[in-house]
Structure 1
Amino acid sequence: MEGGDDDDGVPQLSGDTLAALQEFYAEQQQRDALKSGIDKFSVGSVEEDWQLSQFWYDDKTAFSLAKEAIEASGENGRIACISAPSIYQKLKSLDAENMSMCLLEYDRRFSVYGEDFIFYDYNNPLNLPEKLKHHSFDIVIADPPYLSEECLRKTAETIKYLSKGKILLCTGAVMEDLAAAVLGLKICKFIPKHTRNLANEFRCYSNYELGLDSQLE
């Protein structure tokens, strides 16, 4: 490196460059693992990254929410999953015919899912590609990564832009009042569960009557 004065004359990478390189190799390893895996859409095929506040649903929950989305969206339905990769994975594994779905997600490891993957940063909630038309999804399922008012409010902007009407939100029980205020959602009877025990109680919220709830009556 120009101007360097390293002891052994070996170029040294900056901290940022090294971190970027490590991220690239991690993503490459993930792609290789998915390509060689039996089912790249299985929940857990991409490992949780706790630094990104990732906690996957258990298989039963992911299956239940995916089936709910399919039924709620109707024939030839369009489903958007925002920060909810395990639900997207289960939707794909169910191989629902004539369904259209996409995953809006910050973690670029999920780019292995091709055109279904949309890079998404909740800090820029309306920075979306042109192909995601206004009010073009029959149901939007969202699981904001952080239990904060800012995160939910900004994610709500994306939800309201994409949804034709039906919304299914999964987040902490502490967000109940805010979910009602910003999206008009009510708490559901169905309780989502994760593969790991979380400190915060999680609940589902919707603006329509869940089929899952009727099954619990």
Structure 2
Amino acid sequence: MFIATTHRGQLVQMDDDDDVPTLSADTFAALQEFYAEQEKRQEIFDKLQAQDQLKENILFDENWQLSQFWYDEATVQALVRAADRSVPAGGRVALLSCPTLFVPIKRQFGNRASVSLLEYDRRFEVHAPDFIFYDYNTPDKLPPDSLHSYDLVVADPPFLSEECITKTSETIKLLAKDKIVVCTGAVMKEHVEKLLELKLCEFQPHHRNNLANEFCCYANFDLDGVLR
């Protein structure tokens, strides 16, 4: 038996008289799942390209393995309002590991400012060319034209760990030229203040699914005043 792929990327097991190594059932199932996800992603790309529209109606499920927890609507609207009031015409916004903010903020700005999404989850490549693949483990792996060029950086580090906030902070410093907003757990307060010199805000982000960890918002400007 050997493994082959069809023209649609599907895996098939085929018999062969030669002594060819075969995959285990678990490995074969994992590969089938990979190709199925790849095909689904391509279908989304094709549909959006044909419609030539902003991907407003696509809402991916949270991937808890990637520590994804989407904001509730009130939090989204508050951060959209903060961005709208903080970024000048012709400015740039970077959204770091907070992909569900992209469409609402992009819609709010229209052509008035540019919005970039830096994200590890490649499902959000549907937002290309505004999508930049980002892995916090390589914090300085960024496009040259992104360095110190963003009027506002909004970040939500995926993990509540010193390592993650430290590396994400390196990226934020490389991207930002002015305002910074970080949404993360209350337990990270000391690290956020030390690494980025941000102050705790009254505004608190909330999520669609209730989380056990208390979340807070930190900024290097008067975010609460902007939201009033």
Match of 1:100 in 2: 114
In the alignment, what sits opposite 2:7? none
Identity %: 45
Residue 168 of structure 2 aligns with which residue? 155
Corresponding residue for residue 80 of structure 2: 66
SS in 1 for 2:221: coil
Runs of 4+ in 1 over 3 A off after TM superposition: 8-21, 30-39, 211-214
CA distance in 2, matches of 1:48, 1:31: 20
SS of the residue corresponding to residue 131 of structure 1 reads: helix
Of residues 96-105 and 170-179 in structure 1, the stretch that sits farther from structure 2 once superposed is: 96-105
Of 105, 115, 119 in structure 1, the residue corresponding to residue 133 of structure 2 is 119
Query: What amino acid is aligned across from residue 191 of structure 2 in structure 1?
Result: L
1:125 and 1:16 map into 2 onto residues whose CA distance is 32
Q: What's the counterpart of residue 216 of structure 2? A: 203
Q: Residue 185 of structure 2 aligns with which residue?
A: 172
Aligned-pair CA distance for 1:90: 1.4
The answer on whether the counterparts of 1:137 and 1:164 sit within 8 Å (CA) in structure 2 is yes
**Deviation readout 1:146-205 (Å, 9 max, x if unpaired):** 000000000000000010021000000111111000000011011111110001011100
1:41 aligns with 2:56: yes
Cα pair distance change 1:145/1:27, threshold 3 Å: farther
Q: Please give the alpha-carbon distance, in whole angstroms, between the structure 2 residues aligned to 1:108 and 1:183.
A: 28
- Long gaps (5+) in structure 1: 3-7
Unaligned runs of 5+ in 2: 3-13
When residues 18 and 210 of structure 1 are mapped into structure 2, their CA distance, relative to the original with a 3 A threshold, is same
Structure 1 residues 180 and 45 mapped into 2: Cα distance closer, same or farther (>3 Å)?
Answer: same
Deviation at 1:9, TM superposition (A): 3.4
C-alpha separation in 2, matches of 1:70 and 1:21: 44
* Contact 1:105–1:118 under 8 Å retained in 2: yes
Q: 2:197 aligns with which of 159, 163, 184?
A: 184
**Structure (1 or 2) with the larger CA radius of gyration:** 2
RMSD: 2.6
Cα distance between partner residues in 2 of 1:110 and 1:12: 34
CA, structure 1 residues 119+13, in 2 after alignment: closer, same or farther (shift >3 Å)?
A: farther
Question: Residues 67-94 of structure 1, C-alpha deviation per residue, up to 9 Å, x if partnerless?
Answer: 2112111222200000010111211233
Q: How many residues get paired?
A: 208
User: What is the distance in 1 between the residues matched to 2:100 and 2:170?
Assistant: 22
Query: 1:9 is matched with which residue: 15, 24, 37?
Result: 15
